[in-house]
Amino acid sequence: MSDLRCFHVAQDGRVSGFATAAAALEARAAGGYVWIDLVNPTRDDLLALAGPFGLHPLAIEDCLDDQQVPKIEDFPGNTFVLVNRHHFSDGTLHIEEVDFFIGQGFLLTVSAHAEAHGAQARLDEAIRIDQAAVGKGPDFLLHVILDHIVDGKLIAIEALQDDLDAAEEVALRKGSAAFDPSGLLELRRSLLAIRKSLFHEREILIKICRRDSPFISEASIFRFRDIYDHLVKFVEIIEVCRELISSLLEIHLSLVNNELARLGNRTNQVVRRLTFITTIFMPLSFFAGIGGMSEWSMMTGPENWRVAYPAFLAGMAVVGLISYFILKWLDRRGTGQER
């Protein structure tokens, strides 16, 4: 459901609320300017304001499309600015579009779901704190709102950093078994989304500081430069976080490879031991096969079985011991050469 708030801002910074935009425009005759705040508007709501404030149809379409990238465009009678508000909670990044129309004696803001994360209440508080500056003109109010949005970006980035630090702690202390790379990939997607927004918003601030818009006064430029500096710092933080995510993924892959190599070595040891035992019993099986038939009795004589069979067993024991010691010596020799 849409929410329309209409204000008249006096030259001393006092903000007065009105029921309709027409009433706020009438109050502007005594000085000051008008601020119209639209939350989750419909097309009819925007078309109703198109006449009094000269809103371009293309800009109205951008307000209704939440997939637009941040940008700034000049139209006859006003300048259109589109930025993104970010909020990060429960491992999910929420991106909301905020649109501005600034012209001679008015500022129109359009946003969606501003109450979802308490953004509207914090914005009103920021305006009350900087009331003296707000009374200087709509460009100063635009700075206050943009600065509030940029502060929200920092809160979202810090929340992302906290989740990234937690993932790093798990990867380094608990190993690959407890580490979930899918969460890290989701963090990287969130960082890329913020980085994309910051890239375009820096361009917006460059154009504002260059005074490409005739509705931004020279007196307010230094305030927008401060916002630009913040955005540059945020981009650097995002790049550091991206590098950290890449490092964590490499560490995870190294830990997995080490675990697989350890399992492979253990398998090789078991196979070597089984091969060792099989090699020892091969000659014994051969002699046992001969001793279990009549050939041995025919060679020694059936009447000599009391001596022949104990001798045969003793021979098998000797052969087994000799095979055992020879294989052990070969095993130690092979291990030493590998080292």
Question: How many domains in the chain?
Answer: 2
Q: Which amino acid is at 40?
A: N
pLDDT in tens, 318-334: 877 877 787 777 667 65
Cα–chain-centroid distance for residue 206? 27
In a shared domain, residues 246 and 287:
no
In a shared domain, residues 251 and 311:
no
Helix (H, G, I), strand (E, B) or coil at 40: coil
In a shared domain, residues 251 and 282:
no
Neighbour order of strands in the sheet with 15-18: 15-18, 3-9, 33-39, 106-111, 92-103, 78-89, 71-75
**Cα gap 236→233, rounded to integer Å:** 5
Q: At what angle do helices 138-173 and 181-209 cross, to 10 degrees?
A: 160
In a domain, 19, yes or no: yes
Q: Which amino acid is at 309?
A: Y
In a domain, 263, yes or no: no
Pairing of strands 106-111, 33-39: parallel
In a shared domain, residues 43 and 183:
yes
Range of the domain at 147: 3-256
In a shared domain, residues 328 and 221:
no
Neighbours of 264 (CB within 10 A): 10
Would you state the pLDDT for residue 260? 77
Report the candidate in 146, 147, 144, 182 with the shortest Cα–Cα distance to residue 163: 182
In a shared domain, residues 250 and 307:
no
Using a 10 angstrom Cβ sphere, with 0-12 exposed, 13-18 middle and 19 or more buried, the burial of residue 309 is middle
In a shared domain, residues 40 and 64:
yes
Note the helical H segments in the chain. 21-27, 43-53, 57-64, 119-129, 131-134, 138-173, 181-209, 221-291, 294-300, 305-338
Which of 256, 285, 310 finishes a domain? Answer: 256
In a shared domain, residues 194 and 227:
yes
In a domain, 265, yes or no: no
DSSP conformation letters of 110-147: EESSTTTTTHHHHHHHHHHHTHHHHTT-HHHHHHHHHH
Helix (H, G, I), strand (E, B) or coil at 217: coil
**CATH code of residue 36:** 3.30.460.20
In a shared domain, residues 282 and 192:
no
**Cα gap 72→204, rounded to integer Å:** 6
Helix (H, G, I), strand (E, B) or coil at 16: strand
In a shared domain, residues 163 and 43:
yes
**Cα gap 339→336, rounded to integer Å:** 5
In a domain, 264, yes or no: no
pLDDT in tens, 275-295: 777 776 777 677 667 666 555
Q: 267-275: which pairs have CB atoms within 8 A and are 24 or more residues apart?
A: 272/331
Report the candidate in 128, 137, 141, 142 with the shortest Cα–Cα distance to residue 14: 128
Total residue count of the chain as it appears in this document: 339
In a domain, 304, yes or no: yes
In a shared domain, residues 177 and 28:
yes
Would you state the pLDDT for residue 302? 66
In eight-state DSSP terms, residue 68 is: P
**Cα gap 227→215, rounded to integer Å:** 18
Which of 256, 284, 310 finishes a domain? Answer: 256
In a domain, 262, yes or no: no
In a shared domain, residues 112 and 204:
yes
pLDDT in tens, the chain (339 residues): 678 888 888 888 888 888 888 898 898 888 889 999 888 888 998 999 998 899 999 999 999 888 889 999 999 899 999 999 988 887 788 888 999 999 999 999 998 765 545 556 666 777 777 777 888 889 999 998 899 899 889 999 998 888 888 877 777 776 666 667 777 888 888 889 999 999 999 999 999 999 888 999 998 999 999 999 999 999 999 999 888 888 888 877 777 777 778 888 888 777 877 777 777 677 767 766 766 655 566 566 666 667 777 777 787 778 778 777 877 776 676 565 555
Which of 209, 232, 256 finishes a domain? Answer: 256
In a domain, 137, yes or no: yes
In a domain, 261, yes or no: no
Q: Which amino acid is at 124?
A: D
